[in-house]
Amino acid sequence: MKQGATWNEPMSEQKYSWAFKQKMVRRLTGANAVSATQLAKETGLQQVTLSQWLRDARSLKDVPRNKPQRPPVDDKIRILAGAAKLSGAELEAFLAREGVQLAEHEQWRLALDQDGKGGIAFTKRLKALERELARKDKALAEAAALLILKKKVESWLPADEDDDTTEDSET
């Protein structure tokens, strides 16, 4: 009987542990890799199943890549803004939570302060974005209030009556 199978479980419905699948994928990709066909003969598993596990392992998003991902500009701005108020151990703890090294933070900060204009430009841009966000929040709140008011007015009006307010009436 194959590993993971029970006496009353059909072979096509077997469940294999994550560790077992990883072991099989390592056999397919390691230094002494074997083909899915060969591994199927050795283990009694179907070649199709082994090939699917290999495809799944290659498509995982959390598989380490050769090159680390760089944070997007928005994240850099958020991190720099949060770190601007901190120093010493607080700064180090904040950067550790964000997954940023101190040297990397300093590089970003210096890039903004290039020629003494970067810091000012960053501050102006940040304040402009905050003003725009506040304006849009107010507009959204106003729209929501108008919708609520409209629903209340509609609930007060009788639902079955037609609006016959035409000036041309038959006498």
Q: HEC states along 69-115?
A: CCCCHHHHHHHHHHHCCCCHHHHHHHHHHHCCCHHHHHHHHHHHCHH
- Could you identify the residue written with the tokens 């591994």? 39
Q: Where are the domains of the chain?
A: 11-59, 73-155
User: d(Cα 54, Cα 33) in Å, to the nearest integer?
Assistant: 12
pLDDT (tens digit per residue) in 131-165: 999 999 999 999 999 999 999 998 888 876 555 56
Calpha distance 49→56 (Å, rounded): 11
Mean pLDDT across the chain, nearest whole number?
76
Model pLDDT, residue 140: 94
Assess whether pLDDT exceeds 80 at residue 115: no
What's the pLDDT at 142?
A: 95
DSSP the chain: --TT--TTS-GGG----HHHHHHHHHHHHSTT---HHHHHHHH---HHHHHHHHHHHHH-TTSPPSSPPPPPHHHHHHHHHHHTT--HHHHHHHHHHHT--HHHHHHHHHHHTGGGTHHHHHHHHHHHHHHHHHHHHHHHHHHHHHHHHHHHHHHHS-SS------S----
Query: Hey, what are 22's tokens?
Result: 């990883």
Q: For the residues 16-29, what does the mean pLDDT come to?
A: 80
d(Cα 39, Cα 50) in Å, to the nearest integer?
8
Lowest mean pLDDT among 8-12, 21-25, 27-31, 50-54: 8-12
Token pair 């009353």: residue: 8
For residue 4, pLDDT over 60 is answered with no
The confidence score (pLDDT) of residue 146 equals 95
Q: Could you tell me which of 23, 24, 22, 4 has the C-alpha nearest to residue 14?
A: 4
97: tokens are 């939570």
Q: How confident is the model at residue 28 (pLDDT cuts 50, 70, 90)?
A: confident
Using a pLDDT cut of 90, give the percent of the chain over it.
15
- What's residue 10's pLDDT? 43
Mind listing the pLDDT tens digit for each residue in 38-70?
A: 889 988 999 998 888 888 877 764 444 444 555
